[in-house]
């Protein structure tokens, strides 16, 4: 077996890549810091938040109060916006210098773009979209990552036994961000990545960032699947009356009925609403992991034997097109 | 149609995946039993192929298909040729089995290097089974090429570059990309064309599918398959979601609607 660029005996520290847009740290990065703290304590290793950017000092200060032992800030004008070549070069330089044991990244478009390339450059393993992570009790420097996707209610535990760093990505919403206070002695360290000679093969010429739909933060979700037959109108009307966001199964997204930012589940988002009202979704495991942390689940499905009812508190075995119109009427009347 | 005789050359990486709803889990071993599942071409790979064929209409040149997998993939590669691809390469060897994304990307990169001159390698944004989205960036790294993920638009630009729009968190960005480049294409960004019936006979019978083994592409034994894969499955476990009430609401739709309205208001009341 070919080796990674450094070995387990040299590796130490839990690193979290802190993604940001220049204004704020990404939610998923804060979630990973909270989980990273827990893993670092189990492993008896320090927790480092790793930021790349330009003039990102205030973001680094903010991150410093999130329970880390250290923030490592790589600053360079070329790192103002994310581009693969430059970020990968800067990250590889820092990793090879400090040799962390773990490197965790958010499974956002840029996080996945970076992680996939960096893992190959470092010749190490990368686990995608972990739904849980723990340090192995008998060997607390080894990360055990849980991934679903094998279907049938099965999760696989993935480990990267010899190669370092142990890399993993996690989707937004899987872990909770703790409001942990600043750890005494937490330090901000800066470094200047040497980026001369790094090819710049991709140049950003335009960016358009709109208001982001973030279903992981909403308290009330109305979710539609194949059973709604392309018509989110009814669901939107209902959602409008109760201040809910719209969620969707993968089928509804793949059919092009709604954007991917609304997708609930393993490929989509893990949500934690107080109430999820789920209409015309069969209830595949890859979907239900996305609502497992909802406080109350209400499901409407024509088929009384649909698996979604195993994951629901209140079950309505009816045609959604017969139930939703009177429900909308009820809610409107009681406004 | 078969020779890679110069001109703009796009390689489309295509994976054959099991139909998700037909994969069953062996209750004893708790491992995936894909033997009973029918297969299909990973859907976004068809969007990548469509993008390649549209570029070919503008830039000329040719389109190759590349896949790593068992021999039963071959008919799916022929399907891609009946849609408009010119030739296909199948990397097939028992020693490729058990590859994680590090070994997969190494193998695909060796295949591309063996094919020779190329300008653009297109992938789907992610597969519907492994779904890691790690293959396109990893492939770009092994090939030391430019990389763009989650592209939804692409057109030729000046100085032999491509103008590409990619999805980012909360929006999109437009990029000028030097070639060669590995680009992953989002699903549903275009309407894959129908089978070209004039090509069908050729595609099914005579079109060139080159099958290469590990030795053919000069792959190093410790970088492919299980030995080349740093990640391992350390165990499986049943994931039981939390216990729910599973209480059925009975009655006419109107009665149920009234009960639901009450429920929703009390449950979400404190929002
Ligand atoms: C690796 C991988 C990752 C995946 N990730 C995700 C993910 O993140 N999110 C996700 O959702 N899926 C995901 N899937 C797909 C998942 O396995 C299912 O295929 C998908 O969730 C099914 O969507 P659905 O329930 O909308 O459609 P279907 O399974 O077709 O179910 C439609 C349901 O609607 C009901 N229905 C029809 N008409 C009516 C009506 N008039 N009134 C009431 N009910 C009606 C039917 O009884 C049926 O139960 C993933 C799959 C794989 C392999
Ligand atoms: C449920 C599950 C979870 C897994 N998790 C991990 C993990 O966390 N880490 C890990 O390293 N491996 C993982 N694997 C193994 C991984 O799926 C394989 O390495 C696979 O060969 C490539 O990854 P992918 O299917 O995720 O591809 P993706 O990166 O999702 O595929 C993107 C695109 O790359 C191209 N492509 C991918 N595979 C091929 C191929 N064989 N031939 C041609 N083109 C291809 C296609 O264009 C495809 O659309 C997992 C497998 C399963 C079934």
- Taking the C-alpha atoms of residue A68 and residue A181, their distance in angstroms, rounded to an integer, is 9
A155 with B237: Cβ contact below 8 A: yes
pLDDT at residue B240, as a whole number? 61
A158 with B222: Cβ contact below 8 A: no
Lookup: tokens for A106? 């958010």
Closest alpha carbon within chain B to A293? B242
| CA angle in degrees (0–180, nearest 5) for B140-B146-B147 | 65
Radius of gyration of chain B (CA): 23
Closest alpha carbon within chain B to A108? B169
Q: Which residue is listed with tokens 């079950």? A: A315
Element (H, E) at A7: strand A6-7
Judgement on whether residues A111 and A230 belong to the same structural domain of the protein? no
Orientation of helix B135-142 relative to helix A109-121, angle to 10°: 40
User: Do A251 and A225 meet the contact criterion of CB atoms below 8 Å apart?
Assistant: yes
- Taking the C-alpha atoms of residue A32 and residue A38, their distance in angstroms, rounded to an integer, is 10
pLDDT at residue A335, as a whole number? 66
Element (H, E) at B167: strand B162-168
A157 with B235: Cβ contact below 8 A: yes
Judgement on whether residues A18 and A119 belong to the same structural domain of the protein? yes
B146-156 and B39-41 beta bridge pairing: unpaired
B25 with A150: Cβ contact below 8 A: yes
B223 with A323: Cβ contact below 8 A: no
Determine whether the shortest distance from the Cβ of A132 to ligand 1 is under 6 A: no
- Taking the C-alpha atoms of residue B228 and residue A125, their distance in angstroms, rounded to an integer, is 10
**Any domain includes A4:** no
pLDDT at residue B25, as a whole number? 66
A109 with B245: Cβ contact below 8 A: no
Which atom belonging to ligand 2 lies closest to the Cα atom of B124?
A: 49
Chain mean position to CA A33: 12
A187 vs A17, A75, A184, A324, CA distance in Å?
16, 16, 9, 55
The list of chain A residues with pLDDT below 70 reads 150-153, 335
Judgement on whether residues A173 and A221 belong to the same structural domain of the protein? no
Residues 63-102 of B with CB under 8 A from A: 100-102
3-class DSSP state for residue A175? coil
Closest alpha carbon within chain A to B22? A151
| Domain membership of residue A235 as a residue range | 215-334
Smallest CA–CA distance, residue A274 to chain B, in Å, is 6
Q: What does the buried/exposed string (b/e) look like for A282-320 if buried means 16 or more CB atoms within 10 Å of the residue's CB?
A: bbbbbbbbbbbbbebbbbbbeeeebbbbebbbbbbbbeb
Ligand closest in space to the Cα of A267: 1
**pLDDT band for position B270 (cuts 50, 70, 90):** very low
User: Do A222 and A246 meet the contact criterion of CB atoms below 8 Å apart?
Assistant: yes
Judgement on whether residues A187 and A227 belong to the same structural domain of the protein? no
Judgement on whether residues A292 and A150 belong to the same structural domain of the protein? no
**Any domain includes A264:** yes
CA–centroid distance, residue A305 to ligand 1 (Å): 14
Chain mean position to CA A166: 17
The predicted model gives B204-227 an average pLDDT of 96
A117 with B138: Cβ contact below 8 A: yes
Ligand closest in space to the Cα of A320: 1
B111-144, pLDDT tens digit by residue? 999 999 999 999 999 998 889 999 999 999 999 9
**Any domain includes A88:** yes
Please state the domain extents for chain B: 9-223
Q: Which residue is listed with tokens 């991934």? A: A147
Closest alpha carbon within chain A to B102? A120
Judgement on whether residues A261 and A223 belong to the same structural domain of the protein? yes
The predicted model gives B164-187 an average pLDDT of 95
User: Do A133 and A150 meet the contact criterion of CB atoms below 8 Å apart?
Assistant: no
pTM higher than 0.90: no
**Any domain includes A206:** no
Q: Where are the alpha helices (DSSP H) in chain B?
A: 43-59, 74-83, 101-115, 135-142, 197-201, 253-267
Chain B residues with CB under 8 Å of A108 CB are 169
* Burial (Cβ within 10 Å: 0-12, 13-18, ≥19) of residue A270: buried
Closest by Cα among B192, B181, B99, B100 to B136:
B181
**pLDDT band for position B2 (cuts 50, 70, 90):** very low
3-class DSSP state for residue A72? strand
- CATH code (residue A70): 3.40.50.620
Domain boundary among A157, A191, A225: A191
**Any domain includes A9:** no
3-class DSSP state for residue A102? strand
For residue B86, pLDDT over 50 is answered with: yes
**Torsion angle of alpha carbons B33, B36, B38, B39, nearest 10°?**
30
**Any domain includes A30:** yes
User: Do B103 and B223 meet the contact criterion of CB atoms below 8 Å apart?
Assistant: yes
Total domains in chain A come to 2
B178 with A204: Cβ contact below 8 A: no
Judgement on whether residues A127 and A95 belong to the same structural domain of the protein? yes
**pLDDT band for position B263 (cuts 50, 70, 90):** confident
For residue B1, pLDDT over 50 is answered with: no
**Any domain includes A148:** yes
Chain A residues with CB under 8 Å of B173 CB are 81, 204, 206-208
- Considering the domain delimited by B9-223, tell me its CATH architecture: 3-Layer(aba) Sandwich (3.40)
* Burial (Cβ within 10 Å: 0-12, 13-18, ≥19) of residue B5: exposed
3-class DSSP state for residue A230? coil
User: Do A37 and A47 meet the contact criterion of CB atoms below 8 Å apart?
Assistant: yes
Judgement on whether residues A274 and A156 belong to the same structural domain of the protein? no
Give the number of beta-carbon pairs within 8 Å between A and B: 283
Residues within a 6 A CB radius of ligand 2: A 126-128, 147, 149-150, 158; B 13-15, 42, 44-45, 66-69, 99-101, 104, 108, 123-124, 126-127, 129-136, 231
Phi and psi for B72 in degrees, rounded to 5?
Answer: -70, -10
Chain A residues with CB under 8 Å of B20 CB are 151, 284, 286
Element (H, E) at A115: helix A109-121
Element (H, E) at A96: helix A84-98
Phi and psi for A200 in degrees, rounded to 5?
Answer: -115, 85
- CATH code (residue A255): 3.40.50.1220
* Burial (Cβ within 10 Å: 0-12, 13-18, ≥19) of residue A99: middle
User: B264 at the A interface (CB within 8 A)?
Assistant: yes
Nearest-CA residue for atom 53 of ligand 2: B130
**pLDDT band for position B216 (cuts 50, 70, 90):** very high
Give all strands of the β-sheet with A132-136 in edge-to-edge order.
A132-136, A139-147, A154-160, B231-238
pLDDT at residue B45, as a whole number? 98
Phi and psi for B22 in degrees, rounded to 5?
Answer: -105, 0
Q: Any idea what DSSP says for residue B129?
A: S
**Any domain includes A196:** no
ipTM of the complex: 0.90
The predicted model gives B240-256 an average pLDDT of 86
- Higher pLDDT: B197 or A151? It is B197
Phi and psi for A142 in degrees, rounded to 5?
Answer: -100, 125
């Amino acid at each position: 077996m070919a080796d990674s660029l450094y070995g387990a005996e040299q590796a130490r520290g839990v690193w979290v890549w802190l993604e940001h847009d220049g204004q704020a740290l990404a939610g998923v990065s804060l979630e990973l810091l909270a989980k990273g703290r827990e893993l670092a304590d189990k492993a008896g290793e320090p927790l480092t938040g790793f930021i790349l950017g330009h003039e990102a000092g205030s973001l680094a200060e903010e991150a410093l109060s999130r329970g880390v032992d250290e923030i490592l800030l790589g600053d360079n004008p070329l790192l103002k916006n994310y581009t693969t070549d430059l970020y990968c070069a800067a990250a590889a330089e820092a990793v090879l210098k400090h040799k962390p044991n773990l490197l965790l990244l958010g499974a956002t478009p840029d996080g996945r773009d970076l992680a996939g390339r960096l893992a190959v450059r470092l010749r190490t393993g990368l686990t995608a979209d972990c739904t849980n992570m723990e340090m192995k009790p008998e060997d607390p420097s080894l990360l055990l990552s849980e991934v679903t996707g094998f279907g049938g209610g099965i999760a696989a535990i993935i480990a990267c036994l010899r190669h370092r760093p142990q890399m993993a990505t996690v989707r937004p919403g899987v872990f909770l961000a703790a409001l942990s206070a600043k750890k005494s002695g937490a330090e901000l360290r800066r470094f200047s990545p040497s980026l001369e000679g790094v090819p710049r093969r991709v140049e950003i010429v335009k960016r358009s960032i709109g208001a982001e739909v973030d279903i992981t933060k909403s308290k009330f979700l109305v979710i539609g699947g194949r059973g709604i037959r392309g018509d989110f109108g009814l669901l939107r009307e209902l959602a409008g009356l109760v201040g809910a966001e719209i969620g969707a199964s993968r089928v509804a997204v793949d059919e092009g009925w709604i954007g991917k930012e609304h997708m609930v589940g393993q490929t989509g988002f893990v949500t934690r609403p107080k109430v999820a009202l789920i209409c015309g979704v069969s209830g595949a495991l890859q979907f239900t992991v996305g609502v497992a942390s909802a406080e109350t689940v209400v499901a409407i499905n024509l088929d009384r034997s649909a698996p979604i009812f195993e994951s629901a508190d209140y079950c309505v075995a009816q045609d959604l097109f017969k139930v939703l119109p009177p429900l909308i009427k009820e809610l409107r009347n009681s406004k | 149609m078969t020779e890679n005789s110069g001109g703009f050359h796009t390689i489309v990486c295509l994976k054959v995946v099991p139909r998700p709803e037909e994969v069953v889990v062996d209750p004893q071993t708790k491992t995936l039993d894909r033997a009973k599942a029918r297969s299909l071409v990973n859907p976004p790979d068809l969007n990548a192929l469509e993008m390649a064929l549209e570029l070919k209409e503008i830039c000329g040149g040719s389109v190759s298909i590349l896949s790593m997998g068992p021999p039963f993939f071959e008919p799916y590669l022929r399907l891609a040729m009946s849609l408009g691809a010119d030739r296909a390469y199948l990397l097939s060897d028992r020693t490729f089995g058990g590859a994680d994304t590090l070994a997969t990307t190494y193998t695909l990169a060796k295949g591309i290097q063996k094919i020779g001159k190329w300008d653009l390698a297109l992938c789907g944004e992610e597969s519907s089974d492994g779904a890691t989205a790690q293959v396109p960036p990893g492939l770009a790294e092994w090939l030391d090429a430019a990389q763009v993920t989650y592209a939804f638009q692409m057109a030729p630009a000046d100085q032999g570059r491509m103008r590409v729009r990619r999805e980012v968190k909360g929006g999109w960005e437009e990029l000028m990309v030097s070639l060669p480049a590995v680009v992953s294409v989002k699903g549903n960004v275009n309407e894959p064309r129908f089978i070209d019936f004039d090509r069908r006979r050729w595609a099914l019978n005579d079109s060139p599918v080159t099958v290469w083994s590990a030795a053919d592409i000069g792959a190093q034994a410790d970088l492919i398959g299980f030995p080349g894969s740093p990640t391992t499955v350390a165990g499986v476990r049943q994931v039981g979601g939390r216990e729910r009430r599973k209480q059925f609401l009975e009655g006419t739709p109107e009665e149920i609607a009234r009960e639901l309205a009450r429920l929703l208001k009390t449950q979400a009341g404190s929002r």
